[in-house]
Structure 1
Amino acid sequence: NSASADLINSDRPSTGGNRHTRSTYDIDKSNQPALTPQITTTLDHIVQQLDILTKTVSILETRLTMTESKLQELNHEEHNRK
């Protein structure tokens, strides 16, 4: 998906605080049953999609904040003209 690739490779700065990475979710697997390769692949895909969604929400939050700031600025300018 081209849109997904654009989000993954986005050069926009992150506006959020700490972002979880895959290493955040690493756990001791010694007491757990082995997962099949298909389940592992599926879970990796889900994690990748969640990462993309997180980046998308971050970009949307940034754009919303910029829009709100611009509206506030325009409202202030309009108020000063009266």
Structure 2
Amino acid sequence: MGNDKCVICRSAAGQMVPVAGFVGISCSQCGDYSINEQLVQDLAKARRTFNVVRAQTWLAISRKSGVIPTITALDVSIHGLVNDG
């Protein structure tokens, strides 16, 4: 990744230590989360963007378990986190 922007809201963000195919993001708007690196590439290639409100809400709910949320292609599909088109 390396562009220092949040994948979800496109605000300035820091990166956390990557783990096995996942990129860690630290965003003041979306909070800390990790996302599958291949998913990021696939979405960029398809020019698809996150539904910011839906994704931020999902992250907040997921964070209640006490762990940093991880976004996978399955999460995107099940929870409709990406805009259509």
Assess same fold via TM > 0.5: no
Higher relative strand content: 2
Task: Select the structure with the greater relative contact order (CA < 8 A; seq sep ≥ 6).
Answer: 1
Higher relative helix content: 1
Determine which structure has more spread, i.e. the larger CA radius of gyration. 1
- TM-score, length of structure 2 as denominator length: 0.28
